[in-house]
Structure 1
């Protein structure tokens, strides 16, 4: 809110944007009532700055100070799950797992994978790779007990 309402209640706000150093363009057709507004129609990779005017019965205020530069980018979401996990080979105390990378990376490169396993008759999953993310879509699980049935789950962490 402005420090002064000019003697009349603020009825709304007008928002303008511009490309870095360019010409100011009005963003909203009618003044918004809230002190927040989602600006649509921006292009990824361009840099924008914004300013706001307050409106009351007498008209519009001078513009606010210019905002910091904003560079829109695609929103990043969690990736999809790894595809087609398989036990490719095994011995009495190891299992060699392989999988295919997720169909969707969430808008950011996959940083790595986490493998979890559980005994077949329990519900408790335990992380297998404790030190770091697995960088490739294969991993050898070590320290298995001969005769124990286990289930594994490969997942990709948030990026």
Structure 2
């Protein structure tokens, strides 16, 4: 088995164990044996990998996106994990997203104004700006998902 395959199987196992085998079976609709094959390092299962829809379902329930993180690492991409989860899904749709977008943009501009006041953006100020930019990006992603949902 390739190093990449082995690496992905280890992270698949971590994901399944994070969620728990019984809940993982319920979330994916797969049996314990099938899930086991997805992370087995035996030669007869070397070409079997977990489907992406199963990864998405499990990572929604997991404490960390194990497989997504592994894929990102393999491509040299750095992910920022935002552990905050909303209590409810955003049901307001695009209208709520537009309001959230304008609020987040205003917060980014306020942070920028405060940071640039002395003509120098310090490391801490840059980190705060980066955090605000990431929050703004999340609102845009939510908006994109709502638009795609309405288009279908």
Instruction: Return the TM-score normalized by structure 1.
Output: 0.24
Bigger radius of gyration among the two: 1
By percentage of residues, which structure has more helix?
2
By percentage of residues, which structure has more strand?
1
